[in-house]
Chain A
Amino acid sequence: MLFRSVCGQIERFSEDYCVRPSTGFNLILFRAMSHAMSHPSADKLVPGDRWTQVIREKNLTESVKRVNTGLKDDHEAYRRKGLTVFPKPPVVDPQTLSSWYSNWGIPYTLFAMGTKDANWGIEDV
């Protein structure tokens, strides 16, 4: 269900930024989103913990870079073919991307990845 929801959101994102239908960009976006969820020590995550915040910030930073690189490449592909919808490549800032991810179930997934923590149960959700 989460996967289907994310796929739907990726489609919406692509439409909002006028990315042409392409599995290539979907893949970039999906990887960027996965990167935002990536935690090497997921079972040590504690909500509000400084370490958790640092990892999330680092991952979101890289995720923003990946998405913007994908958007730029897509725009370049348009431009090379003599057709652009936007004069400049669309850009997604960290706050906007974070907002998109919020709607993609990322916070819930982060929770689910951290449920091994004894102090963090389903009642917290």
Chain B
Amino acid sequence: MSKFDNGPILDESTLLRMNEEFRAGAYDQLEISPVVRLDPKSDPFGMDYEWLEPSRDSTDFVELYAAVLSQPSSERRRIASAAVRRTALTGSLAGGTDDQVFQKWLGQGFVGLCHEAGPTGVELLANIRKDTEVLSERVRGILTLFRETLPKGSFTSEEEITIASAIIHALKLPQ
């Protein structure tokens, strides 16, 4: 019989007590040393640890969507679509050759956009239903990604389809 099951590293009663202390705000007073970030110039291995960071120009989706949200609602989708497609095509997002990283980042950006702006959904759904199997396959892929990456219940099924169709639609539009 193993003494070391893959269980908590502390016993349950200790963890419950720590949880209570945590909720009471005891941890707020705790001081910790800041995490030192390595400077690639002084790193003996010469690693560029920032390769996954989005670059600081308009390919940063958070900035891009913030800019999109400042536009009139009737223009938002067109502007966002063109920018997303441009970024997707040029691969100028750092790590853009990594489809998974790109898709996650793109998905999160759109989730944020839709969360803030409230998509109407109707038109986008109609668009996606015009196309058939190819689009369906791609939507299924994106929906799977959402379900793997977001907490359960973040969005309804219809919202997920709306978001997925918005991404597809964005990538299909000409510049």
Contact = CB atoms under 8 A, between A and B. Distances in A.
A42 to B, nearest CB: 14
Contacts of B5: 107
Contact of B66 (A27, A69, A82): A82
Question: How large, as a class, is the contact surface on chain A?
Answer: 35 or more
Contact of A21 (B9, B16, B101, B151): B101
A31 interface: yes
B2 A82 contact: no
Q: Is the interface of A mostly helix, strand, loop or mixed?
A: helix
Interface stretch (B46-54, B80-88, B121-129): B46-54
Contacts of B101: 21
B173 interface: no
Given A85-B115, A93-B19, A23 B30 contact: no
B89 interface: no
A8 interface: no
B9 A31 contact: no
A124 interface: yes
A40 B53 CA distance: 34
B35 A84 contact: no
A14 B94 CA distance: 18
A113 B19 CA distance: 27
A121 B71 CA distance: 65
Q: Which of A28, A93, A101, A110 has the most CB of B within 10 A?
A: A93
A98 to B, nearest CB: 5
B49 A23 contact: yes
Contacts of B66: 81-83
20 contacts: A18-B111, A18-B150, A21-B54, A47-B4, A57-B14, A60-B18, A69-B32, A77-B62, A83-B66, A84-B116, A85-B112, A85-B115, A94-B18, A102-B6, A102-B7, A103-B6, A111-B4, A124-B2, A124-B4, A125-B3
Interface of A: 15-16, 18, 20-24, 27-28, 31, 36, 47-48, 53, 56-57, 60-62, 64-66, 68-70, 77-78, 81-85, 93-95, 98-99, 101-103, 105-108, 110-111, 124-125
Given A68-B27, A81-B62, A84-B112, 8 more contacts: A18-B108, A22-B52, A57-B18, A60-B18, A82-B69, A94-B19, A108-B6, A125-B4
Interface of B: 2-11, 14-16, 18-19, 22-23, 27, 30, 32, 35, 37, 49-54, 62-63, 65-66, 69, 95, 101, 104-105, 108, 111-113, 115-116, 148-151
